[in-house]
Amino acid sequence: NRYTKEYFSKIIKAGLIKLLGLSDLDFKDIYIPWNNMTNRYYHCFTLREMKFLIKDNHFEILESYKTRYFKSSNLIVIAKKLK
């Protein structure tokens, strides 16, 4: 979950940089340090945004929910391609 306290400041900082026109990234796009070697790209989806993209690409959503384990969570969407 990229909306935890640990990452929330990175999301806010990236959004402010975007507002100032200093970044080519979209809102909710961030880079997270990975293995002290490089940065890993993330787009911080909301469940609503993910469902919209799935429907917009001709899938039927069968089930969708957010899981929560300790401090993290995942978005789960089960869908099938429309004919």
* 18-33 confidence digits (pLDDT tens): 889 888 888 888 888 8
**C-alpha dist (Å) from residue 34 to 29, 42, 45, 46, 51:** 16, 12, 20, 23, 28
Q: How far apart are CA 64 and CA 62, in angstroms?
A: 7
pLDDT of residue 44: 83
* 42-74 confidence digits (pLDDT tens): 888 888 999 999 999 999 999 999 888 776 778
Within the chain, strands assigned E span 29-34, 38-43, 59-69, 72-81
pTM across the whole model: 0.65
Q: Which is higher by pLDDT, 14 or 50?
A: 50
pLDDT of residue 1: 54
Reported as a pLDDT band with limits 50, 70 and 90, residue 4 is: low
